[in-house]
């Protein structure tokens, strides 16, 4: 590729558009995606050339790839659900683990003697959240700033646990996917993920 001149606003914005498109393809690539074909399609459309593939062929091929992607996503979700159930089953056997009727599991790291919040209260907490493989998806500790929110305004596993915690407590929660983000997932949290949180209840607001 020839050296680009990115010294003007116009060329930098043009490059940025390409970066955005490339990032989208990188993060959610169709199976077997061809960068050469992507660039050819982009160039043909931009310059007004006729499509090299008919609309009928495109529609049929998009359906094939969409079906493949849906099948792959379903397989990943089923594997994640199975891994989560196996993790919780083994974790429940560990000493110090309490299993609630909802399926929520927790262990007390520090027992606080302060008041317990109600569902209607707002609280200040520090927390560190990971997937069962240890991948961090959110952490107020890493941000260096406690989080404040209504007890009834968070995932069901948190709402249940917070009402059992005395202020000053620090618990480790093992949250089944149905008490978290379920089959949808969110952000970097895949569907059917069991979530592990260290939660420190600092104050009731």
- 65, 97, 137, 149: the catalytic one is 137
Q: Is 181 a catalytic residue?
A: yes
197 in active site: yes
Q: Torsions phi, psi of 186, nearest 5? A: -165, 135
Catalytic residue among 87, 106, 174, 181: 181
**Residue 190: which H helix or E strand, with range?**
none
Exactly one of 97, 132, 155, 204 is catalytic; which is it? 155
Q: How far apart are CA 11 and CA 114, in angstroms?
A: 59
Q: How long, in residues, is the chain? A: 205
Which of 87, 106, 174, 197 is flagged as catalytic? Answer: 197
Check 87, 106, 127, 174 and give the catalytic one: 127
Q: What angle do CA 84, 90, 92 make, to 5 degrees?
A: 100
Among residues 44, 121, 138, 198, which one is catalytic? Answer: 138
Task: Kindly list the distances between the CA atom of residue 116 and the CA atoms of 91, 164, 165, 205, in Å, as whole numbers in the listed order.
Answer: 26, 6, 6, 12
138 in catalytic set: yes
CA distance 119 to 106: 19
Catalytic positions are: 127, 137-138, 155, 181, 197
């Amino acid at each position: 590729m020839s050296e680009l001149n990115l010294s003007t606003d116009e060329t930098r914005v043009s490059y940025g558009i390409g970066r955005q498109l490339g990032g989208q393809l990188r993060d959610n690539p169709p199976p077997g995606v061809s960068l050469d074909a992507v660039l050819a399609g982009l160039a043909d459309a931009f310059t007004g050339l006729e499509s090299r593939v008919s609309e009928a062929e495109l529609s049929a091929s998009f359906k094939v790839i969409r079906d493949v992607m849906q099948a792959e996503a379903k397989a990943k979700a089923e594997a994640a659900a199975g891994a989560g159930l196996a993790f919780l089953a083994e974790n429940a056997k560990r000493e110090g683990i309490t299993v609630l009727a909802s399926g929520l599991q927790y262990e007390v790291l520090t027992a606080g003697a302060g008041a317990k919040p109600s569902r209607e209260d707002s609280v200040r907490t520090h927390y560190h959240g990971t997937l069962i493989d240890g991948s961090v998806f959110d952490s107020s500790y890493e941000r260096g700033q406690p989080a404040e929110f209504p007890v009834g305004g968070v995932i069901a596993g948190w709402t249940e646990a917070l009402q059992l915690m005395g202020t000053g407590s620090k618990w480790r929660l093992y949250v089944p996917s149905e008490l978290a983000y379920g089959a949808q997932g969110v952000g970097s949290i895949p569907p059917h993920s069991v979530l592990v949180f260290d939660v420190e209840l600092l104050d009731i607001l």
